[in-house]
Chains A and B, each alone.
Chain A
Amino acid sequence: MTALTALAEPHRLLIVELLRNGPRPVGEIADKLQLNQPQVSKHLRVLTDAGVVEVHPIAQQRIYSLRPQAFREIDDWLEPYRRLMDDRYNRLNDYLRRAQAKEKRHARKN
């Protein structure tokens, strides 16, 4: 499952938003989101498999944190449209500069 598909589930997105503030153990995530722990564990497993979060065992606890690489991947999702429009605006701006330079040259001649 890709990161994007994993994040399509609203509870998993909430977990990710919570982890933005820093790494958390399962119990704390369940408390904060008022979900039961088995449910949260299931979501965390999906997020881990998709590479969105990673887990570090510390003492008796399993601490979950975000994996920034996954977010770069999602950012790429928006990239084709961003590039298409950026290129178009750049060409438009180039055209406008050329048109104005031409106007100035004509003005000088007259």
Chain B
Amino acid sequence: MPEKTKTSMFTLPSDREIASSRVLDAPPDLVYKAYTDPDAIAQWWGPSRYTTTVDKLELRPGGAWRFIQRAEDGGEHIFSGVFRDVVPSKRLVFTFNYEAIPGHEAVQTVAIEAVEGGKTKVSDNMLFSNREDRDGMLQSGMEEGALESQERLVALLEKLKAPRR
């Protein structure tokens, strides 16, 4: 069965990770370009209410990246990190920081693979130092208690949402 586009998949592979994936209507080399070309990044990476500027993009292991999101009212959100692995049209691994809240670095892996119909599946995995950082990202500012057995709970939720029998 061909994988559906328009549907993103979300999982919590461990208590320090968030993963998502999506099938896109383009070949792998174009998807890779969308992630690595500054003009392309400006067109999709940030929410549309922000203007995204690529300040740095040194596409090699050890190279720095830095994106600036500017709101109309002048508010700024800056994200930055260092590339760890760069494999054209296949994989990008880099550290991820939100500069306003330093000390909570995550490692992000973007994997790109061809799927049938000339489409591409992109998988995005963020590995945090601990569960608190991961949950902080999940909530992006929303307050909720720390949760034990969270992975089981999420799996349970999926079952509860599915129609019975």
Contacts and interface: CB of A to CB of B under 8 A. Distances in A.
Contact of B30 (A5, A66, A71, A96): A96
A86 B6 CA distance: 9
B140 A81 contact: yes
A41 B24 CA distance: 50
Interface residues of B, number: 40
Interface in B37-62: 40, 43-45, 47-48
Interface in B132-151: 137-140, 142, 144-149
B126 to A, nearest CB: 10
| Interface size class of chain A, counting residues whose CB lies under 8 Å from the partner chain | 35 or more
Chain A interface mostly helix, strand, loop or mixed? helix
Interface string B25-38: 11000110110000
Chain B interface mostly helix, strand, loop or mixed? mixed
B154 to A, nearest CB: 7
A89 B8 contact: yes
B157 interface: yes
B106 to A, nearest CB: 13
A103 to B, nearest CB: 9
Nearest to A6: B145
B149 A4 contact: no
A17 B156 CA distance: 7
A92 B119 CA distance: 13
Contacts of A8: 145-149
Interface in B49-91: none
Given A4-B144, A80-B139, A85-B20, 17 more contacts: A7-B149, A13-B149, A13-B152, A20-B160, A71-B161, A75-B157, A78-B10, A78-B154, A80-B138, A81-B139, A88-B44, A89-B22, A89-B24, A96-B24, A96-B26, A96-B30, A100-B26
Q: Pick the 6 closest A-B CB pairs, nearest first.
A: A96-B26, A91-B44, A89-B22, A95-B44, A5-B145, A92-B44
30 contacts: A4-B147, A7-B149, A7-B153, A8-B147, A9-B148, A10-B149, A13-B149, A13-B153, A16-B156, A66-B160, A75-B161, A77-B138, A77-B142, A78-B10, A78-B138, A80-B140, A82-B8, A85-B8, A85-B10, A85-B20, A87-B47, A88-B44, A88-B45, A91-B45, A95-B34, A96-B24, A97-B25, A99-B30, A99-B34, A100-B26
